[in-house]
């Protein structure tokens, strides 16, 4: 009980001491092409103020060593160019829910998964990426749902132990060669389980506890998705407190959570569908949301670029970048026009929004 109260008190003090709050880094989660990004870092860094990217669809938990090492050259080029414009906090996203993650009890299959995470960590260190964003959403695989048919015959207590063990193995694989790697977890499975009551996340906290068991030097950042469309200051503050305190109350090592870990508020202002890049709410509403997120989140805030809603690759550019059989994610969506008022959303991030913008 004292731990939970302490978390609430600490959070209130943080809200009241804006002068002491270090400006968090702004991350853009995007399916942007690495080569295209490297050629346009001035735009994202100097003109908008993005501090890093969470790069989507680059490597996966089943990627071969050859596939992983094959992108090193592009990542090194990105690092060299991006640091010059303040883009120095880049992450690679790996989704656990794509395809079907091996059964928690399948030691043989998990041995290969661990090799993959080891290879990923070596790549991240070699290319000076900040870390990995582990996406824990189920997608095609019921990862954390103990009632799933695939876990029939395995007791709940055994599943909890196994989820913990796999989390522990992943963090060990990631930190062995890259001790200072940063871990960003998407999304807030503990909140889904303990507050929303979603059965499909009941094993999530045990997986997190396994990750946290090594008390890695940079801690663990939880990137929230419940906050995507919460734009009002008071509502976002309230949800942030709930998210933070659920972790403090239910994690096995609450001191580690309070001392080294944090919440990164996620926002989704642009992109209704992959084929529809229009806004979900106004630039004025995004401004209120963004400023509140920046005041609350200690280390990072992040913006979800649904598909490629924050930019447009023209057909001629796609042709140039694919001339040597280079693959670009869903190029037909990349070429679609952005929201007509996209520049106003850029202005919010840059802190230069016109008071008259609606």
* Domain range list for the chain: 2-15+26-350
Residue 143 pLDDT > 60, yes or no? yes
Output the average pLDDT for the chain.
93
* Helix residue spans in the chain (DSSP H): 2-16, 34-38, 41-42, 65-69, 72-82, 107-126, 156-176, 189-194, 204-212, 233-250, 254-260, 283-296, 315-321, 331-334, 342-350
* pLDDT for position 252: 98
The predicted-structure confidence for 323-343, as pLDDT tens digits, reads as follows 999 999 999 999 999 999 999
* pLDDT for position 224: 98
Q: Which two tokens stand for residue 145?
A: 């749902």
* pLDDT for position 267: 98
* pLDDT for position 13: 32
Percent residues over pLDDT 90 in the chain? 91
- Domain 2-15+26-350 fold: TIM Barrel (3.20.20)
CB proximity list for 75: less than 8 A, separation 6 or greater = 34, 123, 127, 129
* pLDDT for position 141: 83
The predicted-structure confidence for 199-253, as pLDDT tens digits, reads as follows 999 999 999 999 999 999 999 999 999 999 999 999 999 999 999 999 999 999 9
* pLDDT for position 5: 39
CB-based contact 119:65 (threshold 8 Å): yes
* pLDDT for position 22: 86
Residue 178 pLDDT > 60, yes or no? yes
* pLDDT for position 357: 61
Mean pLDDT calculated for residue range 259-269: 98
């Amino acid at each position: 009980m004292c731990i939970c109260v302490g978390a609430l008190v600490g959070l209130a003090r943080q809200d009241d001491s804006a002068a002491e709050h270090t400006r968090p880094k702004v991350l853009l989660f995007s399916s942007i092409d690495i080569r295209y990004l490297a050629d346009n870092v001035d735009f994202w860094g100097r003109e908008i103020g993005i501090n890093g990217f969470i790069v989507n669809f680059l490597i996966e938990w089943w990627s071969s060593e050859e596939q992983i090492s094959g992108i090193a050259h592009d990542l090194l080029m990105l690092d060299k160019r991006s640091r010059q414009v303040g883009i120095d906090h880049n992450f690679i996203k790996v989704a656990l829910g794509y395809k079907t993650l091996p059964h928690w009890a399948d030691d043989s299959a998990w041995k290969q998964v661990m090799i993959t995470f080891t290879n990923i960590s070596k790549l991240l260190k070699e290319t000076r990426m900040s870390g990995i964003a582990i996406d824990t959403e189920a997608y095609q695989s019921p990862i954390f749902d103990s009632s799933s048919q695939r876990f029939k015959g395995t007791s709940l207590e055994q599943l909890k132990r196994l989820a913990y063990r796999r989390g522990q193995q992943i963090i060990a694989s990631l930190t062995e060669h890259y001790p200072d790697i940063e871990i960003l977890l998407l999304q807030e499975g503990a909140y889904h389980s303990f507050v929303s009551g979603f059965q499909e996340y009941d094993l999530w906290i045990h997986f997190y506890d396994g990750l946290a068991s090594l008390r890695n030097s940079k801690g663990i950042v939880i990137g929230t998705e419940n906050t995507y469309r919460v734009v009002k200051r008071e509502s976002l503050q309230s949800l942030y407190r709930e998210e933070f305190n659920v972790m403090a109350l239910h994690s096995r090592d609450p001191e580690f959570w309070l001392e080294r870990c944090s919440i990164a508020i996620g926002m989704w202002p642009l992109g209704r569908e992959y084929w529809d890049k229009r806004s979900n709410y106004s630039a004025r509403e995004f401004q209120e949301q963004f400023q509140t997120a920046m005041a609350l989140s200690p280390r990072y805030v992040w913006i979800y670029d649904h598909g490629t809603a924050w930019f447009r690759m023209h057909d001629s550019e796609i042709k140039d970048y694919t001339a040597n059989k280079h693959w670009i994610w869903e190029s037909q969506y990349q070429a679609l026009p952005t929201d007509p008022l996209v520049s106003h959303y850029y202005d919010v991030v840059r802190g230069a929004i016109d008071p008259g913008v609606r």
